[in-house]
Amino acid sequence: MSQSGLDDEELFGEAATEIRADVEDHLAAARDALPAASAVWDVEADNTLGVLNGLRTALAVEEVEEHLRDAKKWYTIGERADAFEDADDLAEEIERIEDVLDDLAEVSDAVGDLASAIPELRGELEELHAAGEDEAADEDEAAGEADE
């Protein structure tokens, strides 16, 4: 084999190692950017809407999505170049983070729906109770006039 052949093989090995390290780094950053369990469980607020808004903020995953996208990009390049001897662990980690992201997106959508619905429900209940109080006041006034 020529000297350039050895150099090419050596360079390819280095590139494969660097690609794997990039994938691992982005996966670690994606994991670190995931919300802590306590952030979605322990919420302080004065009312239901505050709890929902706090939860929606805790479920923000844009940074996770960016790191996962970069990890998948480098993983795909490494796979297509057949640069990895064994990349099953990387594929499994990518899948685990994708599954958690899917769950987070689903919960975030549900929280968003609730955050929109709760103020409407509150308004409807207030109107209904106010109308009931008005009717009761009218009945009391009519009963008072009938007694006179």
Helix, strand, or coil here: 113?
Answer: helix
Q: 4-8, 17-21, 51-55, 83-87 — which is least confidently predicted? A: 4-8
Distance, CA of 139 to CA of 101 (rounded, Å): 56
Report the pLDDT value the prediction gives residue 146, as an integer from 0 to 100: 59
pLDDT at residue 145 greater than cutoff 70: no
Q: Check: CB of residue 78 under 8 Å from CB of residue 19.
A: yes
- What mean pLDDT, rounded, does the chain reach? 88
120 pLDDT more than 60: yes
Q: Where are the domains of the chain?
A: 3-147
Give the pLDDT score at 9: 85
Burial of 67 (0-12, 13-18, 19+ CB in 10 A): buried
Which pLDDT score, from 0 to 100, does residue 1 have? 44
Q: What is the mean pLDDT of residues 63-67?
A: 96
> Sorting pLDDT into bands at 50, 70 and 90, what band is 147?
low
